[in-house]
Amino acid sequence: MLTTKEAIEKRRSIRRYKPDSIPYEHIEEILDSARLAPSGCNAQPWRFKIVTEEDVKVKLAQSAFNQSFIAAAPVVIVCCADIKGYLEGTVSGIQDLGNIGAVEDRIVSTIKDRASALETAGISELGPRIAANVAIAIEHIVLRAMDFGIGSCWVRLFDEQKMNLKTAVENNKL
Ligand SMILES: Cc1cc2nc3c(=O)[nH]c(=O)nc-3n(C[C@H](O)[C@H](O)[C@H](O)COP(=O)(O)O)c2cc1C
């Protein structure tokens, strides 16, 4: 098992993969490390889709401007943000922080008001707020995967419109 220091120092973006499949228990452990990531108001707005189907991986690679290494990976984790979950989680999370006295009641009310005001906000406003939370969880995944000898690479160069990823995830079609 690597120390945190070793994992941080050894981590590299890996773009060539062995064809070996990854045991499901390892995927579960890796996802559990994402679950344990910190998030604002403990909203935990991340959602992850595990993709192993060849045809879906190919589509993902094509939508990522033909970064073919994506299709060659035994597992692709599509990392999503749940906007509704973020707003709901923020409201219940700030209440929890109020209940333990970590924040004053007036702050609880302010954050709750802000969350309900944000319900009508678009992705351009909400995206950056949620992205930080999801990014931390993703890096947990990257580092924990190394404990199982699994290399990975972040991919942001992706055209969501091309694959209509949002609709595919929402309709469980991925
Ligand atoms: C938010 C983010 C998006 C990235 N997107 C891509 C990508 O689309 N394709 C890719 O090959 N690498 C991508 N990378 C990996 C970076 O290119 C890589 O982290 C950087 O070159 C430093 O190399 P290292 O990770 O090996 O230290 C991304 C990294 C981050 C953090």
3-class secondary structure per residue, the chain: CCCHHHHHHHCCECCCCCCCCCCHHHHHHHHHHHHCCCCHHHCCCEEEEEECCHHHHHHHHHHCCCCCHHHHCCCEEEEEECHHHHHHHHHHHHHHHHHCCCCCHHHHHHHHHHHHHHHHCCHHHHHHHHHHHHHHHHHHHHHHHHCCCCCECCCCCCCHHHHCHHHHHHCCCC
For a mutational test of ligand 1's pocket, the pick from 139, 141, 154, 157, i.e. the residue with the most ligand atoms closer than 8 A to its C-beta, is: 154
Ligand 1 pocket check for 12: Cβ under 6 Å: yes
For a mutational test of ligand 1's pocket, the pick from 155, 159, 160, 162, i.e. the residue with the most ligand atoms closer than 8 A to its C-beta, is: 155
pLDDT at site 77 = 98
| Nearest protein Cα to ligand 1, atom 3 | 156
pLDDT at site 120 = 87
pLDDT at site 168 = 79
Tell which atom from ligand 1 comes closest to the C-alpha of 64.
Answer: 8
Residue the block writes with tokens 């609880």? 108
Ligand 1 pocket check for 156: Cβ under 6 Å: yes
| Nearest protein Cα to ligand 1, atom 6 | 155
Ligand 1 pocket check for 157: Cβ under 6 Å: yes
Residue-wise pLDDT for 60-101, tens only, equals 999 999 999 999 999 999 999 999 999 999 999 999 999 999
pLDDT at site 173 = 77
pTM equals 0.93
One digit per residue, the tens of pLDDT, for the chain of length 174 reads: 899 999 999 999 999 999 899 999 999 999 999 999 999 999 999 999 999 999 999 999 999 999 999 999 999 999 999 999 999 999 999 999 999 999 999 999 999 999 888 888 888 888 888 999 999 999 999 999 999 999 999 999 999 888 887 787 777 777
Single-letter code of the amino acid located at 162: K
